[in-house]
Amino acid sequence: MTTYKEFHARSIADRDAFWAEQARLIDWHTPPTATLDYSRPPFAKWFVGGTTNLCHNAIDRHLATRGDQAALIYISTETGEEKTYTFSQLYREVNRFAGILKGQGVGRGDRVLIYMPMIPEATFAMLACARIGAIHSVVFGGFASVSLATRIDDAQPKLIVSADAGSRAGKPVPYKHLLDEAIKLAQHPPQKVVMVNRGMAEMPLVAGRDLDYGRLRGEHMNDEVPCEWLESSEPSYILYTSGTTGKPKGVQRDTGGYAVALATSMPQIFCCHPGETFFCTSDIGWVVGHSYIVYGPLLAGCATILYEGTPLRPDAGIWWSIVEKYKPTSMFSSPTAVRVLKKHDPALLKKYDLSSLRLLFLAGEPLDEPTARWISDGLGKPIIDNYWQTETGWPILAIPRGIEALESRFGSPGVPSAGYDVRIFSEVDGSEVGNNQKGVVAIEGPLPPGCMTTVWGDDERFVKTYWNSVPNRMVYSTFDWGIRDDDGYFFILGRTDDVINVAGHRLGTREIEESISSHANIAEVAVVGVADQLKGQVAIAFAVVKDPARIATPELRRAHEGDVMKTVDSQLGAVARPARVHFVTVLPKTRSGKLLRRSLQALAEGRDPGDLTTIEDPTALDQIRAALSF
Ligand code: AMP
């Protein structure tokens, strides 16, 4: 038996041999000629010369042994639909979708943007892109037209796949008008749009551009589309994530490295094995959905549950009733979701037969101890925190129970996963800090397989953003503060930058500021993340208006606040809407004009605003205090 320590040490010290062994977990059309090319740091090319295909590994290779086994289990508590696709049925649907894409001239290297609710067709579209070597860019269905337009212009998709509507708590959320608006705003509109009609909302088709999926599917019923064999480093997808600038970054993922990383993580971290079922409650629009709703489970020969709905309908026991019915062995959710459940009857945690379930994984944001204890005690199952980022694609820190049943420690997401050489550096001089001392969590290059290979279309931004931020070192910065204890467990202590984390979703304060500033009556605005009991953090805005008459009375103020929120809703989506917009006449800045963000955040959290010797106008803080108590 290998211990975790031996296993991890080997993944770093004997890197090439270690990953060459792991690479056998997937099928290669042509085997790699070298495990790693790191001749141009920090750009890592894993499994050089090997050709493979994600769709082949997720579906085709399982057909002979598990064609009739469940692959995709779709459950919608929004529409009441429930449908299981076997690997063979999934194979058929994905071939049809691949035929549709090819029929529209989409091929290897072309981008396809997927703006979809949680329906099976979204998964078919992703896998169909992978099959033909097209690069998908899934945009979360909760984003609105400006967010969408920015992503269209950056990825320049040849085709967009969308649907008439999503659904939230039983109410349709129409997509088409947002999509049309985004395409109008975009400089690089797509040639074609394929629309899935769920019969939930109007979806007028634009002649010559928009196509009906149902009709096309009928024309491609019997298509068999061969897999395109991609060189390991060819991109599989782009997924946008927020940073400190207003422009989201396109995280680019490779093909072979990603397949290998996910294939290793399924048994080693998530303890899920071929023939078993995995239940991840995330959304395909986020990285967790890409890796652990779609690719990870299928690559490992597991069934995956695609759930459309909230954790509370028809009641807060819905997830556990799904566990009883479909018997997943591992489940993956977020701390916010658990905090939502915590407001409901704990008896619901005991109502169903959960004997299939071995472990519950939680990630995406800090996991507080009371929440972890509540759910662990309630379910009688171990809770495994794990820490990662859109950029890494799979856990940086976790408890790799598939290797060794290490104990979990409350407050710690665990220890480094295979291939991650995680260290903590001083933000002042880049020296490595000792155990139990706070610093920036960083990873020594090369990043292991599966991590981002670059920023889409912008190698320079990749190097500048991620590899040049720890002084005197070329290491990958996670932009998280952390400490390591004497036993090698890491603790994550919040972001070093202005990125905020709302209910496990990363939002850039700058993007929200840009949206609010576009409101005709806003002169200036600052958005900060403020601690919140339910969502971890929420965005709070402080805005200076141009025309004070519009906020002259409490009623007007409230109406104006609603109006500003509506601007954010329509441009970025409700997910980015600030919890409050406070109006002031001046923002706290230094004499050189730099916004005192940390002081603003501290005040909003009821803490001491800290060092204010450089403040230009001390009355600005009184205004903030007054606004907060308003
Ligand atoms: P995202 O790329 O949107 O998944 O956000 C990644 C960020 O979420 C990380 O950089 C952390 O700040 C935070 N995060 C993710 N997982 C955890 C965790 N288990 N504990 C603490 N913070 C986390």
**Among the ranges given (92-96, 309-313, 620-624), the one the predictor scored with the smallest mean pLDDT:** 620-624
Question: Which residue is it, tokens 């953003």?
Answer: 465
- Which tens digits make up the pLDDT trace of 82-120? 999 999 999 999 999 999 999 999 999 999 999 999 999
Per-residue model confidence (pLDDT) at position 270: 98
8 Å CB contact between 278 and 304: yes
- The residue nearest atom 15 of ligand 1, judged by CA position, is 364
- Residue from 140, 290, 368, 388 to probe ligand 1 pocket by mutation (most atoms less than 8 Å from CB): 388
Task: Determine whether 437 is exposed, middle or buried from the number of CB atoms within 10 Å of its CB (0-12, 13-18, 19+).
Answer: exposed
Cis, bond preceding 446 (omega within 30 deg of 0): yes
Atom of ligand 1 nearest to the CA of 478: 10
Per-residue model confidence (pLDDT) at position 242: 86
Percent of the chain whose pLDDT exceeds 90: 94
Q: DSSP secondary-structure letter at 590?
A: B
Q: d(Cα 566, Cα 516) in Å, to the nearest integer?
A: 10
CA of 242 to the centre of ligand 1 (A): 12
Atom of ligand 1 nearest to the CA of 492: 21
- The residue nearest atom 20 of ligand 1, judged by CA position, is 366
Give phi and psi for 324, each to the nearest 5.
Answer: -60, -40
Q: Which residues contact 559 (CB under 8 A, 6 or more apart)?
A: none
Residues with a CB atom less than 6 Å from ligand 1:
241, 287, 363-367, 385-390, 413, 478, 480, 492, 495, 501, 506
- The residue nearest atom 19 of ligand 1, judged by CA position, is 387
CA of 618 to the centre of ligand 1 (A): 35
Average pLDDT, stretch 313-318? 97
Quick check: 614 pLDDT over 90?
Answer: no
Confidence at 593, pLDDT banded by 50, 70, 90:
confident
8 Å CB contact between 248 and 150: yes
SS3 294: helix
- The residue nearest atom 23 of ligand 1, judged by CA position, is 365
- Which tens digits make up the pLDDT trace of 74-92? 999 999 999 999 999 999 9
- Residue from 283, 390, 480 to probe ligand 1 pocket by mutation (most atoms less than 8 Å from CB): 480
Per-residue model confidence (pLDDT) at position 244: 77
Residue 33's CB: how many other CB atoms inside 10 A? 10
Chain center to CA of 59:
23
8 Å CB contact between 398 and 291: no
8 Å CB contact between 267 and 304: no
Average pLDDT, stretch 156-166? 98
Atom of ligand 1 nearest to the CA of 506: 3
Per-residue model confidence (pLDDT) at position 49: 98
SS3 103: helix
Q: How far is CA 539 from CA 140, 151, 542, 582, in A?
A: 19, 22, 10, 11
User: HSE of 532 in the Cβ direction (CA atoms, 13 Å)?
Assistant: 23
Per-residue model confidence (pLDDT) at position 285: 96
Per-residue model confidence (pLDDT) at position 348: 97
Atom of ligand 1 nearest to the CA of 242: 3
Average pLDDT, stretch 314-334? 98
- Residue from 371, 396, 499, 501 to probe ligand 1 pocket by mutation (most atoms less than 8 Å from CB): 501
Per-residue model confidence (pLDDT) at position 289: 98
Q: ∠ at Cα 392 (50, 160), nearest 5°?
A: 80
Question: Which residue is it, tokens 């109007």?
Answer: 202
Chain center to CA of 407:
27
- Residue from 389, 408, 477, 511 to probe ligand 1 pocket by mutation (most atoms less than 8 Å from CB): 389
Quick check: 243 pLDDT over 90?
Answer: no
- Which tens digits make up the pLDDT trace of 17-36? 999 999 999 999 999 999 99
CA of 261 to the centre of ligand 1 (A): 19
Average pLDDT, stretch 141-168? 96
Confidence at 199, pLDDT banded by 50, 70, 90:
very high
CA of 478 to the centre of ligand 1 (A): 9
Average pLDDT, stretch 354-383? 96
Structure tokens at 360: 């519950």
Structure tokens at 254: 């490779």
- The residue nearest atom 3 of ligand 1, judged by CA position, is 506
CA of 500 to the centre of ligand 1 (A): 10
CA of 418 to the centre of ligand 1 (A): 18
Average pLDDT, stretch 594-606? 91
8 Å CB contact between 127 and 172: no
In this prediction the pTM is 0.96
Quick check: 247 pLDDT over 90?
Answer: no
Q: d(Cα 222, Cα 91) in Å, to the nearest integer?
A: 11
Average pLDDT, stretch 34-56? 98
Per-residue model confidence (pLDDT) at position 38: 98
Confidence at 349, pLDDT banded by 50, 70, 90:
very high
Q: DSSP secondary-structure letter at 96?
A: H
Q: d(Cα 456, Cα 165) in Å, to the nearest integer?
A: 29
Q: d(Cα 495, Cα 271) in Å, to the nearest integer?
A: 29
Per-residue model confidence (pLDDT) at position 594: 87
Buried b (16+ CB within 10 A) or exposed e, 329-351: bbbbbbbbbbbbbeeeeeebbee
Q: Angle, to 10 degrees, between the axis of helix 256-268 and the axis of helix 15-22?
A: 80
- Residue from 506, 507, 537 to probe ligand 1 pocket by mutation (most atoms less than 8 Å from CB): 506
- The residue nearest atom 9 of ligand 1, judged by CA position, is 389
Confidence at 592, pLDDT banded by 50, 70, 90:
confident
Q: d(Cα 541, Cα 513) in Å, to the nearest integer?
A: 8
Average pLDDT, stretch 540-562? 95
Average pLDDT, stretch 43-67? 98
Structure tokens at 61: 């290779």
Share the mean pLDDT of the chain.
Answer: 96
Average pLDDT, stretch 322-342? 97
Q: d(Cα 591, Cα 413) in Å, to the nearest integer?
A: 41
Among 318, 325, 367, 326, CA closest to 345: 318
Structure tokens at 140: 């979360």
- Which tens digits make up the pLDDT trace of 493-533? 999 998 999 999 999 899 999 999 999 999 999 999 999 99
- The residue nearest atom 7 of ligand 1, judged by CA position, is 389
Q: How far is CA 616 from CA 306, 367, 589, 610, 611, in A?
A: 53, 38, 6, 15, 13
Quick check: 40 pLDDT over 90?
Answer: yes
Atom of ligand 1 nearest to the CA of 390: 2
8 Å CB contact between 296 and 265: yes
Q: d(Cα 464, Cα 426) in Å, to the nearest integer?
A: 18
Q: DSSP secondary-structure letter at 338?
A: H
Quick check: 46 pLDDT over 90?
Answer: yes
Confidence at 472, pLDDT banded by 50, 70, 90:
very high
Q: Which residues contact 562 (CB under 8 A, 6 or more apart)?
A: none
Per-residue model confidence (pLDDT) at position 629: 86
CA of 536 to the centre of ligand 1 (A): 11
Q: Which residues contact 293 (CB under 8 A, 6 or more apart)?
A: 123, 280, 282, 284, 304, 305, 306
- The residue nearest atom 14 of ligand 1, judged by CA position, is 365
Quick check: 609 pLDDT over 80?
Answer: yes
Per-residue model confidence (pLDDT) at position 538: 96
Point out which residues pair with 531 in neighbouring strands.
537
- Residue from 138, 292, 365 to probe ligand 1 pocket by mutation (most atoms less than 8 Å from CB): 365
